[in-house]
Amino acid sequence: MNKPWFDSETDILLLDEYIAEMPSFKKILADGVVEEQEITEQVHKVISLMKRLEAMLSPEAKDVTTDIFCELAVLYAIERKYAEKLHSKI
Amino acid sequence: MHIFKASRFFPVKISDLTPIANDVMDNFRKKGYEVSGEQNITRGWNISLHKGGIFKSVLGMKTALNIELENTGTGVMTKAGVGIFGLQAIPTVITYFVAWPVLLTQIWGLVQQAKLDDEALQCVDRSIIAHSSENSNSFTAPAAGLGAKFCVQCGSSLQQTDRFCPNCGKKVE
């Protein structure tokens, strides 16, 4: 199964639609409760997938993938900081 | 909605924003938008507009152009930005989604491409002018009339000679 990352017409990111269909996400939405065990399991899933990916990638693709992980984390952090600043003005 | 992307201040005193909100909602309903609106506790209005093609659902929740009308005492502040349909606060589950800033920016890009934010603000503008001329009891034009100056930050009335706003201190440009 080859899932596109972007909508071919609008170019909008589609990742959230895949997330919405994941059993682990549906469970969180259903009961609204997150247990420590669930976080641990999710961490193990992420690490396992990252290791699988790392083994598949060429050095060049690995550099790009590392950049994506890092830049996405930076974007998330600065957006949260910006939202905090706006929220503090209210 | 914690991130507003467009705003405009209308220096006209209006006691009831309901006719303005109804005009905005009617305008977009006629154009096929799904529209929701409700008065908030400060007697302002929160309006949501959604239409397929411009707005996508994020994590199963419909995004929308959310418009806020607030009476500031010196005029009407109108703000427009991308949010969740019918909700003023973006649900935590979405704000925690690491790619949410990407989606927010992309959806805002489509809104700007469609000039939807401009259209919403212009619609408020037209409605205020129309209602100002037909009902002088509910709408009070600025006492100083045309050419009056107002602070772009807080909306306070300014003297022609003011270099800084006497209320908030913002430099007058």
Interface ipTM:
0.81
Lowest mean pLDDT among A4-13, A19-28, B97-106, B162-171: B162-171
CB within 8 A of A63, min separation 6: which ones? none
Report the 10 Å Cβ neighbour count for B127: 22
> Measured between CB atoms, which of A15, A19, A83 is closest to B2?
A83
CA A18 to chain B, closest CA, distance in angstroms equals: 9
∠ CA B125-B131-B134, nearest 5°, is 145
CB within 8 A of B166, min separation 6: which ones? B156, B158
A79 contacts in B (CB within 8 Å)? 100-101, 104
pLDDT score, position B149: 67
Residue B101: Cβ-neighbour burial (10 angstroms; 0-12, 13-18, 19+): buried
Structure tokens at B50: 């959604």
Q: Suggest the residue from A70, A76, A78, A88 to mutate for an interface test with chain B (most B CBs closer than 10 A).
A: A76
Structure tokens at A90: 């209210």
Give A79-88 contacts, CB < 8 A, sequence gap 24+: A79/B100, A79/B101, A79/B104, A80/B95, A82/B3, A83/B2, A83/B3, A83/B95, A86/B2, A86/B3, A87/B2
DSSP helix/strand/coil, B70? strand
User: How many beta-carbon pairs under 8 angstroms link A with B?
Assistant: 51
B114 contacts in A (CB within 8 Å)? none
pLDDT score, position B28: 95
pLDDT score, position B162: 76
- Is B100–A79 a contact, with Cβ atoms under 8 angstroms apart? yes
Measured between CA atoms, the residue of chain A closest to residue B103 is A13
Q: Which amino acid is at B37?
A: G
Q: From CA B131, how far away is CA B34, in angstroms rounded?
A: 25
Output phi, psi for A17, to 5 deg: -70, -35
pLDDT score, position B85: 94
Q: Which amino acid is at B71?
A: N
- Is A13–B102 a contact, with Cβ atoms under 8 angstroms apart? yes
- Spatial CA neighbour of B61 closest among B109, B22, B121, B107: B107
Helices (H), chain B: 18-30, 92-95, 100-113, 116-134
pLDDT tens for chain B, 173 residues long, are 456 688 999 988 888 899 999 999 999 999 999 999 999 988 899 999 999 888 988 988 899 999 999 998 888 999 999 999 999 888 888 888 888 899 999 999 999 989 999 999 999 999 988 887 665 544 554 444 445 566 676 666 677 777 777 777 777 76
CA B94 to chain A, closest CA, distance in angstroms equals: 9
Give B142-146 contacts, CB < 8 A, sequence gap 24+: B142/B11, B142/B12, B142/B13, B142/B75
- Spatial CA neighbour of B103 closest among A74, A14, A3: A14
- Is A86–B2 a contact, with Cβ atoms under 8 angstroms apart? yes
